[in-house]
Structure 1
Amino acid sequence: MTLRQTLLLNDTAYETTLTRKYALRKPYAPKDPGRVAAIIPGLILEVLVKPGDQVRRGQSLLVLEAMKMQNHLAAPLDGTVLEVVPMPGDTVAKGQLLVVLRRDPDTV
């Protein structure tokens, strides 16, 4: 299955062919901002929040040590901590889920 389209841009026609692979691709879905994941592999030095805590956007949730640097992972939104996955001393992989937040209903 191929889908051909013609795009007109500044009085110039461009022919495109959309392949079967393109047509069957998974649609883009933005990541859930309430799920905080490790940005790089490292060691959890300190967990600064616990389930039930209210957090503000930008507030440090935990400290991740990687490549001899301490990285403070911040809350991406105002909300409530639902779950904290790692404990201090845990080693985490890039992309591993660390904290789950629920957005406060009165914030946008």
Structure 2
Amino acid sequence: MEEKNYVDFEILSGTYKTLLTKKYQARKTWSAPVQGEVRSHLPGTVLSVSCKAGDTVKAGDLLLIHEAMKMQNRIVAPISGVITELNVTEGERVAKGHLMVKIEKA
């Protein structure tokens, strides 16, 4: 076995060496969300849009309603600012991670 494939794994009772699977090593790395970007967390359908590009919104204002897994989710503005991009329309199906709305901080 090659030593370079092992990593140290520390827990309260001590340090252990473990082998990472190929699937784990090939995983998509996590990145922090970009402030002002509203992305779809689940694939679904946009039922209604309550804003348009150029609108000024406050944090917590309703932007749209997104239906996923037979549940209607109210998507609200994460920050106060101006909507610079609106990338969805009513009835549109969106994939997971789709950029629906972009807000520029005022």
TM (norm. structure 2) is 0.71
Q: Deviations over 1:36-61 (max 9, x none)?
A: 00011110000110011011111111
**Divergent runs of 4+, >3 A:** none
Number of aligned residue pairs: 101
Q: Distance in 2 between matches of 1:79 and 1:50?
A: 13
Q: Distance in 2 between matches of 1:46 and 1:33?
A: 23
Q: Which runs of 5+ in 1 are unaligned?
A: 3-26
Q: Deviations over 1:87-108 (max 9, x none)?
A: 101000111110011011xxxx
In the superposition, relative to structure 1, how do residues 49 and 30 fare at CA in structure 2: closer, same or farther (>3 Å)? same
Q: Pairwise CA RMSD of aligned residues? A: 3.2
Residue in 2 that maps onto 1:40:
42
User: Per the alignment, in what secondary structure is the counterpart of residue 49 of structure 1?
Assistant: coil
Q: Distance in 2 between matches of 1:43 and 1:31?
A: 22
